[in-house]
Structures are given as C-alpha cells and as structure tokens.
Structure 1
Amino acid sequence: MRRELTQCVERKVDELVSLTQDLIAFPTINPPGEAYRPCAEFIGRRLKKRGFSVEYIRGESAPGDTDRYPRINVVCRYEGRGPGPCIHFNSHIDVVEVGYGWSVDPFAGVIKDGKIFGRGACDMKGGLAASIIAAETLIECFPEFCGAIEISGTVDEESGGLGGVAYLAKRGYFSKPKVDHVIIPEPLHKDQVCLGHRGVWWSEIETRGSIAHGSMPFLGDSAIRHMGAFLSALEDDLYPALGNRHTQMPVIPPGARSSTLNINSLHGGQDEGHDGLPSPCVADSCRIILDRRFLIEEPLDKVKGEIVEILENLRKTRPNFKYELKDLLEVLPVMTDKNSPVAQAVAGGIRDVLQKDAAYVVSPGTYDQKHITRLGHLHDCIAYGPGKLEMAHRPDEFVGIEDLVDSAKVMALAAYSLLCEPEAQPLRKQSDHVHS
C-alpha cells in the first residue's frame, strides 16, 4: 500500500510542477504583504473542489494589517470516515523582496535544468505544493482513512508570523484536540528532519546626540560617533566571545552552531534631499537593529545582559553617551524530541523513498514552529520540505523537481503512517544516533 501511494505521487509530477509555478506567480512580497488574498483564495478554491472545508481568517490588528494589505490566512480541512488524529501541513505564502541579480523573471516559474526558478520556489511554495499533492494523493488512494488532514497557507512568517501562525495559534488552530501533528514544509533538504531552531532576539538601540551646524561639529554631539563606540565594543569584546560558544544542537550549517550577531540595519543623521545632497548638520540620533541568534545553552537574560553591559559601560565611561534599548522580538530555542510520532513518521518516509536514514537537524533561523509550540502548546511539530536552505532569499532561487517529487512522497507516507497505520509507529524509530 505504501508503494501504491508513492507510485500515485509519481503520476502527478506534471501537476506538482504546474501547481508550484502557479503559486510562484503570486508576488506575495512581505513587506508590505502583497497578493495575500488572491494567493490564499487560489489555495482555497483548489482544495474546496477536492472536498476540503475552507476558512479564511484575517489577522486583524496584527503588524502590517491594513485594508490595503490585509493579513489573509487560509485553513482547509478534510474529514476522514471516522474519528482519529489530525495531521496539519502548514506553509507560509509570503516571500521576501526580489533583490538584485536575477537572470530570470522571479515570478514566472521558469523551468531549466530540472529546476523551477522563482522567488519563493524554495522558501516555501515548492513545499506548499508538495504538501498539497501529498494530501490529495492520500485521500485519493485511501479514502477510508480515519482522522483529518489540514492544509494551511499563512502569512508574515518572514517578518515574525504575528499575523499568521501566531494569530491562529492564539485562537486554537494549532492545539489539541483540533490538531495532533504538524509538518512545516520549510526547505531543509529532503533527507533531513528538522526538529526546531535556535533562539532569536531582535532589538533596536538608539544613541542620542545634539544637533549643530556641520561646519562647527564641536558645538554639537554626534550620535553616530556614539554608535561607532558601541560598534567598536561589539567587535573587540562580544564577537570573539560569541565565536567561542558552541551548541550540542545539530544546527545546520555548521557555522550556525556558534552564537551569532547580525547588524540588520543602521540609520543615522538627517535624510538626504531628493537631489542627494546632505543636510549640513551634526547627527542627533542614530539607530541600529540587532539580530542575535542564540543557543539552547544560553539563557535569554544573559543574551540581553551582554548588550546592556556594553551600553552601560559606555554610559559610565564615554562623555554624554545616552542610549535607548527596545525589544522587538524574542523567541526561545525549540527542539522536538526526535522520537516523537511526527518525526518518526517523516523519518520512515525518508527511509522508504530515499533508501537512507534521515538526518536530524536544527535550523539556524526561526520559523513558525515557535508559535505552534509556545502558543498552541503542541509539541509534535517538525519542519520537513524540499529545497536547499542555502538557496532561500537569494537571486535565482530554485527548487529541484526531483526534490519536489521525493518530498511529496515522504509527506504522503508520513501522513499514511499517522492516519492509516498508527500501530506501526513504534517500529519506525531509528537508533539514537544523531546525524550532523
């Protein structure tokens, strides 16, 4: 029966490719949140024709939600022939900005060399398409299953997920008894089960100064120079310390097994005019956005405390140093037990399809598992999907067609294991060896 399921997926290759192209064609760029509604409605129309109930939920009052850019999520549910568990496939429909350096139209779904190119092809419309085909195939091949299958297309994952999965999780959409198992088809390689992610703390720091004429800077106080002192302290003290910290979490790529700090943006002084000429003033404000990724071994209060300590030392030792620190986002590290039902079901599918043991990994960046665990209190959740993580957000982003097909087979087999043969779960546990 498992072979019948994978053969059925193979017969749907053209449909899988076409569906991926159709999803790429929606320019769901976030920010600002374009084309959310038409993309959600496209998913809803397709699944309604196949017997799913469809619900559209707007993330009202979430960051970025406006009448022009409404945060529209779609949740589709197919009820089996009797009571049983529910497996939910959750994919985000938003994509990041296009950026420079493309050799193809980023929303045309160009096929070349066995790959589909486009913004979101890898992250993660290919995964969404593969999960839809997997679910439809299971329903077609085994209509007598007990339980339920859900598929959702949610928004704003790229900006924190507050108008998407977080909004839904607060309202019980990712909690028992409605949902038992969650697979998020993020692009973490088709032979790997992603158990979770590192933690993240986003913060904004503003240094203050005093405005004066640019020809007489001695009459003012440059906020940019104050920020420069802070940056120098980061380079001299914090960056070397972070590089020496390592985690036992199987994070990929290996460089992410250390603590990291990225300076996302820097804004200082007055805006230049339309002609590009500067205002001749001393900067009285400078802002910086920090992206700190931390390990499961690091307490959040220590992560924050290191930044505060640098700022306080500057306040005490540097004349007129004034600052304001603002929290933007904080998420603790998450890691599901690799012997959980959904992790083992996916690992069994990988073994059947690829003839190899699955590797268990952890993502360097967060994704919507954080909300499902934290707000939905549902811990049987992993990420698994087609695509290579290193292609996400890059120009000429692509997903391999073979990877799409293989991952659809794995997801179909995982759903079969959880809905049609739960008694087989104990037999599908792998050894305690963690692949890295």
Structure 2
Amino acid sequence: MKSIEIVTTEAITLLKKLIETPSFSGEEDKTAVLIADWFNDNKIPFERENNNIWAYNFHFDKSKPTLLLNSHHDTVKPNQGYALDPFSAIEEDGKIFGLGSNDAGGCLVSLLATFTHFYKQENLSHNLVLVASAEEENSGSKGLNSVLQHLPKLDCAVVGEPTEMQLAIAEKGLLVLDVIVPGTASHAAHLNNDNPIYNAIEIIEWFRNYTFEKVSEILGPIKMTVTQINAGKQHNVVPSECHLVVDIRVNDKYNNQEIFETVVQNVKATVKPRSMHLNASSIDKNHGLVQAGIELGRTTYGSPTLSDQSVLSCQSLKLGPGNSLRSHTADEFIYINEIEEGIQLYIKILSDFLNQNKTTTL
C-alpha cells in the first residue's frame, strides 16, 4: 500500500490536472476521465454513469452499513474579476490558484486519497462508497441524485465541501417559489379595485412577516425573501398578473413540502415550486463521525450554503479543506497545507469511526 505522503502528493497533482480541465456543470466528461485514471492507477474498480464515477472498498460486505464519501468535480463559470487564468493551476506562496481549486477540487482529491488509503483495509465497521459527482453547482438531474438508485442503502455520509475541516452538522435547504398574483386587466385611467400589483403588497408583507414556529438550534429560523417582482408592460395598462419570486432557506425542523403547503394555505395566489428536493440536512451531534471530529478539536456549526447533502436521505456531515468564502470568487485558491491537513484529518476521523467494534445507531 502506498504511504499517505505519496498518496497526498498524487492527490495534489490530480487537483492541478482538474483545474486545467474545464468542467462546467453538465460538461464534466474530461475531468471524469482524470478521476477514472486515478482509480485505474490505483487498481480500484469503478463504475461510471454520465459524468459520475463511484467505487466501493475491496472488502465490501452487504451485511454491514455503508458510509458514503462524496464530493463534486463540476465548477461554476469563472467570473469577470479573474486576473489569473482560471484554467492554469498556478502554485505560488503555498497556494494553488485556479477555478474549482477550493470548491470543491481540494475536497474531492482529499477524499480520493482517503478512500484509497482505506480501500483494502479489513474489518471496518462500515462499507465505503466514494462518489465523484457531477452537476452539483446547478443541482442538475444527472448528478449525485441520479446515482443514488445504483447504490446500496446509505447509513451516513461525509460530503466534501470547504469547511476549513470544521464540522458542518446541519445545512439549510432551499425552496424557490414562483408566485403569480391574479388581478383584472384594465386601462389605467379607469377605476380598478383588482390591480394585481396592489394585491401583491399583502402577499409580500406576508412573506416578510410570517414566522415559522420551529427554530433550529443549529440553523436558526426559516428565512423567506421576495427577491424578484415583475408586472406590466405599458404605463397605461393595468396587467392581469403580478409575478413574484421567493427564496426560502429551510431549517432542519421542516421539509420543503411542509413549507410549500403553509404558503399555499396563506396566500391568495398561484404558487409553483421550481423544485422540491433540496431539503435541509443534518447529523446528530452524538453520531460517531461528529464525535470523532470533536475529539480532534474540530468545532460544529450550521452551514447556510447548499451542497449535494440536499439530495441525501441519510444523516450527513459536511467536511472538507478550504474556505467557503473563497468559493465562486475571482482568483480562487486553496492552500497546499489545507489539502495535506485535510487528508490527515479525514483519515484520523474515519479511522476512529470505522474501527469501532460496534456500528453507529442511526
């Protein structure tokens, strides 16, 4: 078996290759080849569907629970603020610059190194399955959600996103609603008591002031925000509809269906969800994965950003090297020592968890 030092060096080399290979959501075919090369070089069988790649540990046992290790290899498109070439993996001052270096290339290669380290270990409490997923950034239909049907029942998961290797034990979900407020079209010069723009005022106020009863200890209250409003095309015509877009950040006390039903019951409008599957996620603070991290001095918190956790039904922990504040920024980078530390901490946390004599009750 390769030493951790060698695997870490190879992981950093892979990260540079991933940066230099464009992989916008839905266009990750070339980075999928690079990940396949990693598995081939380490003599690990894998499966691929679309641009998702997954592999199981050598001693996979159907009688054992299964732990998912997941991160994504797609990126957003570079913004106009880049001074450096986003597709050049520039190493300088202990940093690796480039698009996707922090979100989530550093996490992905660290998890690949970790999985490779554990691949042939025997007598682990859990099976391991690693999924390098596509279409995370656009919540696409051919991402992790499409792979889950091929996997065994998942008992818990570690999702690699930049958390500075702190323990994100909960993550807010997202529900985006299109709200169509009805009214009566007319000439602006005539009396009209059914102007949809005026009707929308009461609805906007409801979204602004309504409070959901359950507040999460980790994620706080649900937050609803009207972010767009559109109505009318001419100054002298009252339109028949007013369109609103509402962004709702959901805590782990509710699922998206419950939120949607509450909105429908309270507003006099047509309400259409853009999607329902991006639910909040969490893991019990007493779970073995979390406790293993706490014993290593890691802190717990709730994450406001969305990840592939939203499509998982099992308890999941968001954990990875890098800083979330660097994600999607110009001249994105990750420190090399963050990757080195990330691999070491992943291995220590999983060693403690996977070598327990008893399995964790979920």
TM-score, normalised to structure 1, is 0.68
Among 354, 357, 361, the residue aligned to 1:423: 357
CA shift for structure 1 position 162 = 3.4
Provide the residue aligned with 1:359 in structure 2.
Answer: 299
Q: Distance in 1 between matches of 2:24 and 2:137?
A: 10
CA shift for structure 1 position 130 = 0.8
Q: Distance in 2 between matches of 1:195 and 1:406?
A: 20
Deviations 1:292-351 (A, max 9, x none): 012234575663366446642xxxxxxxxxx53211223443221122233334444xx1
1:182–1:342 CA contact under 8 A, matched in 2? no
Q: Distance in 1 between matches of 2:92 and 2:236?
A: 52
1:183 partnered with 2:118: no
| Aligned partner of residue 399 in structure 1, secondary structure | strand
CA shift for structure 1 position 74 = 0.9
% identical aligned pairs: 19
More helix by share: 1
Q: Distance in 2 between matches of 1:286 and 1:395?
A: 36
Provide the residue aligned with 1:430 in structure 2.
Answer: none
Shift in CA distance, 102/338, structure 1 to aligned 2, threshold 3 Å = same
Provide the residue aligned with 2:168 in structure 1.
Answer: 194
Provide the residue aligned with 2:208 in structure 1.
Answer: 239
Provide the residue aligned with 2:286 in structure 1.
Answer: 339
Q: Distance in 2 between matches of 1:281 and 1:28?
A: 46
Unaligned runs of 5+ in 2: none
2:167 counterpart letter in structure 1: V
Q: Aligned residue pairs: how many?
A: 355
1:27 partnered with 2:22: yes
Provide the residue aligned with 2:147 in structure 1.
Answer: 168
Shift in CA distance, 96/208, structure 1 to aligned 2, threshold 3 Å = farther
1:29 counterpart letter in structure 2: F
Shift in CA distance, 230/112, structure 1 to aligned 2, threshold 3 Å = farther
1:261 counterpart letter in structure 2: M
Unaligned runs of 5+ in 1: 59-71, 252-256, 271-277, 313-322, 427-436
Provide the residue aligned with 2:345 in structure 1.
Answer: 410
2:200–2:242 CA contact under 8 A, matched in 1? no
1:82–1:145 CA contact under 8 A, matched in 2? no
2:189–2:236 CA contact under 8 A, matched in 1? no
TM-score, normalised to structure 2, is 0.80
Among 328, 333, 348, the residue aligned to 1:398: 333
1:37 partnered with 2:29: yes
Q: Distance in 2 between matches of 1:210 and 1:109?
A: 58
CA shift for structure 1 position 73 = 1.1
Provide the residue aligned with 1:304 in structure 2.
Answer: 260
Q: How does 1:222-301 map to 2 (within 5 A)?
A: 226-227=196-197, 230=200, 233-234=203-204, 236-241=205-210, 247-251=215-219, 257-263=220-226, 287-297=243-253
Among 122, 138, 157, the residue aligned to 2:102: 122
1:87–1:418 CA contact under 8 A, matched in 2? no
| Aligned partner of residue 79 in structure 1, secondary structure | coil
Q: Distance in 2 between matches of 1:26 and 1:344?
A: 37
